[in-house]
Structure 1
Amino acid sequence: MFFKSYFDEELAQMSYMIGCQKTGEAMVVDPARDLSPYYETAKKEGFHLAAAAETHIHADFLSGARELANAEKDLKLYLSDEGDDDWKYQYLNEINHELVKDGDEIYVGNVRLDVIHTPGHTPESLSFLLTDEGGGSSVPMGIFTGDFVFVGDVGRPDLLEKSAGAEGTASKGAADMYQSVQRFKELPDYVQVWPGHGAGSACGKSLGAVPSSTVGYEKENNWALNHTDEKAFTEELLDGQPEPPKYFSMMKKLNKEGPSLEKERDVEGISVSDVGSYMSDEYMVVDTRPSSEFSNGHLKGTINIPYNRSFTNWAGWLIEYDQKIVVVASKETIPAIKRSLESIGLDDLVGYVDESEINGYGGLETYASITAEELENKFRGHEDYVIIDVRNDSEWDDNHIEEAQHIMLGKLKESIKDVPDDKTPIVHCQSGMRSAIAASLLQAFGYKDVLNLKGGFSAWKEHKEKVNS
């Protein structure tokens, strides 16, 4: 048997390829939208991509299942037939597929997958228990759990309610998750666990950074598997879940209806002198340079989302799905940026300004950073300034500057009216990275004298501890 995992650092998303070396057939489990890694592996290993399977309708990334099934006409796509009519795929008429339910079996050559219905994260969620019959085994090797069981955590059941407005589904999902967990605990301890996400995903609240585990290890160490009372379990599961990114609701819709098959297009080079014609509601101009470079000089009206591991998440929060996108970036990074945007369905990257044209261009804007000491001694309490905390709710609840105003970064654009227009905003997050994005957003919306707290709340807390010691 062949096995390979793939990890998207920006989305903390795991996908897998399994293959039967005797028959040359391979299957992809939970394929990402960028299919090139799977094709590269298949070519290298001499496999024919015969099948793909999805554990559920994903909310955090755009699936490559539809595109793969359309590109490979003899490939069979295995999809869940669990859940009610609201959780059925809507593009089935165009592809070779099979709907599966609890108790069904899927074969990839001589590798068997037993289908297990594991609702909780979503009503239609499946897990696939793998047995390598071709290798002579009669016992399972591992289980693909999707967003059901993670290393150290289980999937959150509240996304339908928070992202899609499906009232009452969070408590129902939590109760379903408890029953699914009891079933999972009956598996042999030696069974390996191959989850759909790792640390950094918003599909749970405490996912581990280790990419795989075993049933036995999770029984000992995963908080969710140690509960014996359903009420206590559901209360802990629902408590403290992070705010789901804004784009999650769109991912559910697109993955259910079928992601676009027409994402290919050229990205046009744009002169820096012409970028002003793109400053309208129809476009979003995103500067992908590091915040230190952006703060020292940037084009008016642009927002700064540095191209790093957090880029895709914040792009999903801040860019509207009906907007065309222009980026400030190096020409070499455009293909990677395009793939990152397309991974969450932002397919309209239409142009780029080479970042080398920015330096020395006239009329650039800047913003300044201040230290915690300066905030304390010069700005705090001054009637001309307002402190804006852009951290998550849980961070704010844990501790915050007393007179600060709280607007989580992902909601800042839609809450601009809540920022006083007669005061200079001083923005901060935990370390300074998110507040740099916030500073750019505020400037783009007309707050020209915005200040960023260097080092964020961590620096503020350290300063106060020194002062009080």
Structure 2
Amino acid sequence: MILRQYLHRDPVAISYLLGCVGHGAGAIVDPLFPIEPYLRAAEAERTPIRFVVDTHLHADHVSAGRTLAEAAGADYVLHESAGAAFPFRAVRDGEALPLGNVELSVLHIPGHTPEHLGLLVTDRTRGPEPWFLLSGHTLMVGDVGRTELASDAASGARTLFASLARLKALPDHLEILPGAFAGSVCGRGLSGKPSSTIGFERRFNQAFALTEERAFVDFMLANIPPPPPEAAAIRARNAGQPSAEAA
């Protein structure tokens, strides 16, 4: 298995290249422009890109997902509820995206946005169980994703609480590879360390540790930071919609 993590600073975000070298199959998750580094890396690592996945319709940057998928001849993947105005590979909860000895299993974990998905990653050359979770902006290191960019904050928080309950059921040793780190506008208490585990976050992530829905909603509604500039217009653009529709 190969895994490469790309830490971006403008905007602050994380994207990934992963796949199976033996079977020559790769995927890119949450890519930003420019696309050339992903194409060069996939070629150098002998992992032709089969899937380009956006964990959600981003509101803080224009996604490179569709452009990269077209350039690589890959499927562009979103959750089936994304409602984008262009063709994409619509996946549902529990669906598998095969990459040779590596398998990406889709988890629908809404709350940060309604269509948000995560990817449980298994490397069968190491073992039959998932090794890590690409968690996007649902669970990050030190915080969870804000909930008012695609819905009202309270209903988004209730939905996110249910999604986090699914993640709490995962084993403590499972690694968490998020879609953002310190400096991102999509969280408040994010760490500069771009990886963690379910167990560590269960103990030391204040939002993830909350077990009462009311307390969690109150926590998420307190001190909501300003939205990213032009968040609605950017999200609409990533969905292929006129920006006025997001107003």
Return the structure number with greater relative CO, CA threshold 8 A, min gap 6. Answer: 2
* Other structure's SS at 2:193 match: coil
User: Contact conserved, 2:13 with 2:179, CA < 8 A, in 1?
Assistant: yes
Structure 1 residues 42-191: aligned runs within 5 Å: 42-73=42-73, 75-82=74-81, 87-92=82-87, 97-133=88-124, 135-160=125-150, 169-191=152-174
Quote the Cα distance in structure 1 between the aligned partners of 2:13 and 2:184.
7
The residue type paired with residue 67 of structure 1 is: T
- How far residue 245 of structure 1 moved from its aligned partner, in angstroms, is 2.4
Structure 1 residues 70-469: aligned runs within 5 Å: 70-73=70-73, 75-82=74-81, 87-92=82-87, 97-133=88-124, 135-160=125-150, 169-257=152-240
TM-score (norm 1): 0.50
Quote the Cα distance in structure 2 between the aligned partners of 1:77 and 1:107.
14
- How far residue 21 of structure 1 moved from its aligned partner, in angstroms, is 1.1
Q: Which runs of 4+ in 1 moved over 3 A?
A: none
Residue 1 of structure 2 is aligned to residue 10 of structure 1: no
Identity over the aligned pairs, expressed in percent?
A: 36
The residue type paired with residue 90 of structure 1 is: A
Quote the Cα distance in structure 1 between the aligned partners of 2:229 and 2:112.
18
- How far residue 258 of structure 1 moved from its aligned partner, in angstroms, is 7.1
- How far residue 136 of structure 1 moved from its aligned partner, in angstroms, is 4.1
The residue type paired with residue 27 of structure 1 is: A
TM-score (norm 2): 0.94
- How far residue 33 of structure 1 moved from its aligned partner, in angstroms, is 2.3
The residue type paired with residue 131 of structure 1 is: T
* Other structure's SS at 1:58 match: coil
Quote the Cα distance in structure 1 between the aligned partners of 2:66 and 2:39.
15
User: Contact conserved, 1:190 with 1:214, CA < 8 A, in 2?
Assistant: yes
User: Contact conserved, 2:133 with 2:177, CA < 8 A, in 1?
Assistant: yes
Quote the Cα distance in structure 2 between the aligned partners of 1:29 and 1:50.
11
User: Contact conserved, 2:60 with 2:229, CA < 8 A, in 1?
Assistant: no
Deviations 1:37-79 (A, max 9, x none): 1112112212212211111111111111111122233x11221
* Other structure's SS at 1:219 match: helix
Quote the Cα distance in structure 1 between the aligned partners of 2:79 and 2:219.
28
Quote the Cα distance in structure 2 between the aligned partners of 1:258 and 1:209.
34
Quote the Cα distance in structure 2 between the aligned partners of 1:258 and 1:39.
27
User: Contact conserved, 1:59 with 1:248, CA < 8 A, in 2?
Assistant: yes
- How far residue 224 of structure 1 moved from its aligned partner, in angstroms, is 1.3
Quote the Cα distance in structure 2 between the aligned partners of 1:125 and 1:71.
24
User: Contact conserved, 1:69 with 1:77, CA < 8 A, in 2?
Assistant: yes
The residue type paired with residue 181 of structure 2 is: G
User: Contact conserved, 1:78 with 1:99, CA < 8 A, in 2?
Assistant: yes
User: Contact conserved, 1:91 with 1:258, CA < 8 A, in 2?
Assistant: no
- Provide structure 2 residue ranges, at least 5 long, that are not aligned to the other structure: none
Q: Residues 238 and 138 from structure 1, CA distance in 2 versus in 1: closer, same or farther, beyond 3 angstroms?
A: same
* Other structure's SS at 2:58 match: coil
User: Contact conserved, 1:128 with 1:143, CA < 8 A, in 2?
Assistant: yes
Quote the Cα distance in structure 1 between the aligned partners of 2:67 and 2:208.
36
* Other structure's SS at 1:183 match: helix
User: Contact conserved, 1:158 with 1:238, CA < 8 A, in 2?
Assistant: no
Partner of 1:460: none
Quote the Cα distance in structure 2 between the aligned partners of 1:103 and 1:232.
30
Q: Residues 136 and 206 from structure 1, CA distance in 2 versus in 1: closer, same or farther, beyond 3 angstroms?
A: closer
Quote the Cα distance in structure 2 between the aligned partners of 1:117 and 1:46.
30
Partner of 1:396: none
* Other structure's SS at 2:18 match: strand
* Other structure's SS at 1:55 match: coil
User: Contact conserved, 2:24 with 2:100, CA < 8 A, in 1?
Assistant: yes
- How far residue 160 of structure 1 moved from its aligned partner, in angstroms, is 2.6
Quote the Cα distance in structure 1 between the aligned partners of 2:90 and 2:129.
25
The residue type paired with residue 80 of structure 2 is: D
Question: Is the radius of gyration larger for structure 1 or structure 2?
Answer: 1
Normalized per residue, the structure richer in helix is 1
Quote the Cα distance in structure 1 between the aligned partners of 2:41 and 2:48.
10
Quote the Cα distance in structure 2 between the aligned partners of 1:49 and 1:232.
43
* Other structure's SS at 1:145 match: strand
User: Contact conserved, 2:114 with 2:150, CA < 8 A, in 1?
Assistant: no
- How far residue 156 of structure 1 moved from its aligned partner, in angstroms, is 0.4
Deviations 1:74-93 (A, max 9, x none): x11221113xxxx411111x
